Chains A and B, each alone.
Chain A
Amino acid sequence: MRGIVKRHGTFTALSGIDLDIEPGEFFALLGPSGSGKTTTLRILAGLEPLDEGRVLLDGEDVTAREPGARDVAMVFQSYALYPHMSVFDNIAFPLRMIATPKDEVERAVRDAAAKVHIDHLFSRRPGQLSGGQQQRCALARAIVRKPKLFLLDEPLSNLDAKLRLETRVELRKLQRALGVTTVYVTHDQEEAMTIADRLAVFMEGKIVQTGAPQDIFSRPASTVVAGFIGSPPMNLMPAEVREGVLRVAGVDLPVHRRLGAQGAVTLGVRPAALRIAPSGLPARVYLIENLGDTAIVDLDVGGQVIKLRTEQARELREGDAVHLTFAPESMHVFDRDDGLRREI
């Protein structure tokens, strides 16, 4: 899988997508709905015509190839199981379409079904399966033919929360075991962060950042990414940098490091990096969301809502006046105009 440029449609659903996905990699396409991630996946599959650009698979140009000729398998969000066929026939379908000998089909189907633990359900129809079993059946149908590329379109979104967590782990294990290159579409950043080797963040038909989950989390390339990744996402505040002083919400904070940027910037601080302190930014508590081990505290800082993640919310009351501080190294600075990250 090498370099792809794609543009698409009259209203440009995707404008200039470039993606390099390494062999054997678990790659996630992350973004809000309508950001073009599913379209990108469908272009990889060959289900969507594209207006410009090329799709390369193992260095080969497959742009003009039919979906069936690309050797890619896909798990649809709705699973798209064939309702009139048994589980066995569903899984066997891709093999039968290329006239595989009967005993080989039998062996491959049993093998694939065993990998996702549905080998006891062969005679059932998809309608008689639970959501989780349907999902496994769709997975088995995709892995049975050992494709070059494995595409997953929000495969977990129709499962309940508990099953989703379990399946996520299993999916990761399965991918490692098979070693097949996998592209995974999701709007759930937690899912993308935990499951993927690398991911691409999509916004409005563009890729705004590509990288390992940890890199994207710790070094968001722009305010758009910063405001999307993390739960809750990074706090972004207008600030001004002048001569070793950072002015935020009318308060000067001394900065002991040299800041590369000067003038108007956007300051970003993760909710977990903020601390309640005796001095610093004055703030007022107006909502506390208790999550059990931690709490999300909504604070009013100069008319702007700032979220703080803390383990010591018990001492706080709604309406309290507090001060906020943060470590200089946990600070992110972005250009006020183009929103791009400024190294500090």
Chain B
Amino acid sequence: MKRGQARFSRSGRAEKGARLDFRVRKMIGENRAWPVFTKEGTARIRTLLLVAIAAVLLAVWAFPILWALLTSFKTERDVLAYPPTVIFTPTLSNYRDVIFGSASLLPNLVSSVIIAGVSTALTLLFSIPAAYALARLDLPAKRASGFYVLATQMLPPVGLIIPYYLVLQKVGGLDTYSGLILIYLTFSLPFAIWLMVSYFEDIPREMEEAALLDRAGRLRALWYVILPQVRGGIAVTTIFVFLNAWNEFLFAVVLGGNRVRPVTVAMFNFISVEQTLWAKLAAGAMLAMAPVILLGLLAQRHIVKGLTVGAVKGGGRT
């Protein structure tokens, strides 16, 4: 490259050109002595491969969603056309029906927001202090309680439905918001605690010790020094807990159903014995998915970081 720059160094414009040329060549990987088996070369090939694999995976994952999106704009007649049509006259009638019609999903969306929102908020409220304590304090039964927390995740949910039903019936919690939220907490709390513990453990103890010496005291050390450093973890936990509560169907249909009917349950009504209203179902699904996708996009960065937590020890600090 030195030679190239020298050649153009006569006038300012040529130099600018050379720099641009350099940048372009750097971008396309032309700026090296040996064209092939350099480190950058292999890295480039690897990147290409990764992109290709990602594209295939994305296509597989995205296809059903795209198909549902397409379906949501079809009439019920178009849905049943065989072979399926890709070209059709799009209609908004499905959306009109699921938003404003007699089968409006809006009240159910509100229900979902209440259930998922409150259970997420409560989960965070309890799991953060619990996880911090588990990560930091030398509690006597620390290992045992850690196992217990995780063990609750191993139970198949179906096995719990009947006991939960009976318990809620006894305390008058069937078909109430508080009942369903309570049940969701039994799942989300252990999960959230388990997730948050690993984030807290990644923070060196010296952080609190420094804060303690700086006269912060335990609570302020947690609030000002530790919590800001586990923001990512809190974001990931929020998303996972919210998603789980939002997507939950089994408990909602059995333990809720009439007064408390989240959108997942309500959508189920489009499937009946006589017919399945595929287009409306698809429109409803799109509507139900929208907040979740929005949330995912907002926190994408944190989620990716969260999934690789622990992969690079102390990666956040230098």
Which positions in A face B, CB cutoff 8 Å?
45-47, 66-69, 72-74, 76, 78, 80, 82-84, 93-94, 97-98, 126-127, 141
Contacts and interface: CB of A to CB of B under 8 A. Distances in A.
Contacts, number: 65
Interface in B90-121: none
A78 B214 contact: no
B62 interface: no
Given A76-B210, A78-B206, A127-B318, A68 B228 contact: no
B216 A97 contact: yes
Question: What 7 pairs between A and B have smallest CB-CB spacing?
Answer: A68-B215, A94-B214, A80-B210, A80-B206, A84-B228, A67-B212, A97-B215
B25 to A, nearest CB: 31
B109 to A, nearest CB: 36
B30 interface: no
Contacts of B229: 82-84
A127 B204 CA distance: 15
Nearest to A69: B215
Interface string B103-145: 0000000000000000000000000000000000000000000
B60 interface: no
B213 interface: yes
A98 B231 CA distance: 25
A190 to B, nearest CB: 26
A68 B214 contact: yes
Residue among B206, B214, B224 with max Cβ neighbours from chain A (10 Å): B214
Given A83-B316, A84-B229, A76 B212 contact: no
Given A74-B210, A78-B206, A83-B229, A127 B317 contact: yes
Contacts of A83: 229, 316-317
A67 B210 CA distance: 9
B196 to A, nearest CB: 17
A82 B215 contact: no
5 contacts: A46-B213, A47-B209, A82-B211, A98-B215, A126-B317
A76 B208 CA distance: 12
A67 B207 contact: no
